[in-house]
């Protein structure tokens, strides 16, 4: 282990800005992608369910 302290770890030998921007950007992109997919799935299923159940209204009406 080469880090003397927590602040040492975040400083990354003076390159903290570059290193952490890279890692945080990657993490954000991945989280955003998963969330976007989640929302897309919820929307698609809601639409599908509406079509499945809503179709009955036309036949009964």
- To other proteins, the closest distance from the beta carbon of 29 in angstroms equals 5
Applying CB under 8 A, among 19, 31, 35, 61 the residue interacting with other proteins is 19
- To other proteins, the closest distance from the beta carbon of 10 in angstroms equals 11
SS (H, E, C) 8-55: HHHHHHHCHHHHHHHHHHHHHHHHHHHHHHHHHHHHHHHHHHHHHHHH
- To other proteins, the closest distance from the beta carbon of 9 in angstroms equals 8
Q: Is 1 in the site for other proteins (CB under 8 A)?
A: yes
């Amino acid at each position: 282990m080469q880090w003397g302290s927590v602040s040492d770890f975040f400083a990354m030998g003076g390159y903290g800005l570059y290193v952490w921007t890279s890692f945080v950007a990657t993490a954000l992109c991945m989280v955003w992608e998963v969330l976007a997919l989640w929302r897309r799935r919820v929307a698609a299923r809601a639409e599908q369910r509406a079509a499945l159940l809503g179709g009955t209204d036309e036949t009964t009406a």
